[in-house]
Amino acid sequence: MRDSPRPDPTGDLDSDDEIAEMVRRFYADVTQDDLLGPMFNEVARVDWNEHLPKLAAFWCRALLGQPGYQGNPFRAHMLVHAQREFTAAHFERWLTLFHETIELGWTGPNAQRARDLADNVARVHSHQLLGHAVSLDPAAST
């Protein structure tokens, strides 16, 4: 369930503030999700005050070409996976929530680029961790 009603999307993910808001909305939903919440809150024990700015920096680099993000997202996921294994359902749910967040908040080329990048991240990380790629389109999985 969404944390609050949201107006129809009118803008794109074309500024730091828009991207930070997208990240905030998305991870607010993730942390409350029955499947994903425990992975982030109990297994990874994410410090959200520290992590949300890093996530926003990742998306600002990806969508706006801004410098500032430093990190290794795969390594972080690998460490969590070593504690409690991710499943295809985790990746599928993450993608579903991400797509819902974008669809409810933004429209335009960067919003589409964000969806495409999220799809790619989920495909690559699931292939690396599970041995098979996961996507929202079952025909696209390998």
Architecture of domain 16-140: Orthogonal Bundle (1.10)
Token digits of residue 23: 């990240």
The pLDDT of residue 3 is: 54
Q: pTM higher than 0.85, yes or no?
A: yes
Using a 10 angstrom Cβ sphere, with 0-12 exposed, 13-18 middle and 19 or more buried, the burial of residue 63 is buried
Q: For the chain, which ranges sit under pLDDT 50? A: 1, 138-142
Residue 11 carries which DSSP code? B
The pLDDT of residue 137 is: 64
The pLDDT of residue 4 is: 56
Give CA–CA dist 19/63, Å, rounded: 9
How do the domains of the chain map onto residue ranges?
16-140
The pLDDT of residue 140 is: 44
Give CA–CA dist 101/21, Å, rounded: 10
The pLDDT of residue 8 is: 65
